[in-house]
Amino acid sequence: DYAMSVIVSRALPDVRDGLKPVHRRILYAMWQLGLRPGAKYRKSATVVGEVLGKYHPHSDIAVYDAMVRMAQDFAMRYPLVDGQGNFGSMDGDSAAAMRYTEAKLARISDALLTDLDKNTIDFAPNYDNTQKEPRVLPALLPNLLLNGTVGIAVGMATNIPPHNLTELINGIVHLIDEPEATVDDLMKFITGPDFPTGGIIYNREDIKAAYATGKGSIVMRAKSEIVEEKTGAFRILITEMPYQVNKSELISHIAELVTEKKLDGIRDLRDESDKDGVRVVVELKKDAYPKKVLNRLFQMTQLQQTFHVNMLALVDGIQPRVLTLKMVLEEYVKHRREVIRRRTQYELDVAKARDHILKGLLIALAHIDEIIRTIKKSRDKDEAKVNLIKRFKLSDLQAVAILEMRLQQLANLERLKIEQEHDEKVKLIKELEAILSSPKRITGVVRKE
């Protein structure tokens, strides 16, 4: 029971929105607090308090750490939280305390939460049954592959690399058009992972194996170049790091290797990184062979790293499965179809309800003198409602709407507006019913969006 609780409720992401429960709760709490992309920043402590109090009865440090990671552009390919203040660095510096930092939703998170209020997903009671929280987000974007994830459960773990948004969207559109597409076909669009810190990936065959089976190893290297100085000496410039490498520790490790005489040919080592990006300079001795030194650096340090892909995620919110690239995309498209179907049904119900009221108002406008006489003869509002329902065969809602009509709605221009709105609603209802009756039309909406 404990193992399944960790697997389902803590450590593994859902294939549909790519989020673990804590991340989903943070985004939902921020959405509920009104911290939309256009809003003002609020203290991180406000968000953490909201999440702890309503949805996630665990440690405040766990919630804040999860939120911090969602704001780090070197940890997330597309950060979901827009943070203001010190949110840490790739040198391993920790973020400032939650009372100092501020946050709101990043613009891309809007796409994960869009249509949440249109009955597109199921809600479940929170831990003390006082609130409702979403089981999954509508997720207009394929977030599982977009930002990737790392998770260690009991007896299983997941490690999914991040990807490029444009490549993913093109791959999904191709899969919708060609449901029989193979991994080779999809790799024409999704060429490989796209790490936030840059770097270079080696060996397409490794990527293909990982995509085809859901498991594999991908070799990452720092982006480096050998530069010749005016004096004739060489230096190695490192401008992009492999994913999840601590730059400060890496430089310390290189310095240790030089001190212990395990690495020859290095004269000086400097970290010139600033707000514009990474820049590590390795000055070489005059008699050193630059390529040989660089290869030794790749061999002995984290300038070359292996990313062990394990695409394990929850299917239908409960079943952990290792998924291939195609299976992840299929599950995502399936989820979007269901979201579009439920949203269309919701919009249809709203349109029908409004049209029902408009029909009542049109009946009233067509018999306005008689309506006024009926209301005048009635003792009170309740009797007027009963009399209107009897006399004009109206529904309860229509009668209430007529009784609440304002005098200005009797003007010709207002009548025209009501007629025009009724025509628009009839047209919209036909359109929504056509979408609902055709799975192909629903898939078309998924593709377009």
94: tokens are: 């920790």
- Let me know: does 121 contact 272? Beta carbons within 8 Å: no
Q: How far is C-alpha 70 from the chain's CA centre?
A: 10
Strands 280-284 and 234-240: antiparallel
Round to whole Å and give the CA distance between 159 and 179: 26
Most distant pair of Cα atoms in the chain: their distance: 109
Q: What are phi and psi of 285, to 5 degrees?
A: -70, 160
Q: What's the Cα-to-Cα distance from 20 to each of 9, 16, 152, 400, 408, rounded to whole Å?
A: 8, 11, 12, 46, 53
DSSP-assigned letter for residue 362: H
The angle subtended at Cα 368 by Cα 363 and Cα 371, nearest 5°, is 85
Round to whole Å and give the CA distance between 423 and 20: 45
Catalytic residue among 100, 127, 202, 289: 100
Name residue 153's amino acid: A
Round to whole Å and give the CA distance between 135 and 122: 6
Contacts of 137 (CB under 8 A, 6+ apart): 16, 17, 19, 24, 27, 28, 112, 113, 116, 121
Q: What's the Cα-to-Cα distance from 200 to each of 92, 166, 301, 367, 434, rounded to whole Å?
A: 22, 19, 15, 76, 48
Annotation says 100 is catalytic: yes
Contacts of 427 (CB under 8 A, 6+ apart): none
Strands 200-202 and 157-160: unpaired
40: tokens are: 């003002």
* Catalytic site positions: 100
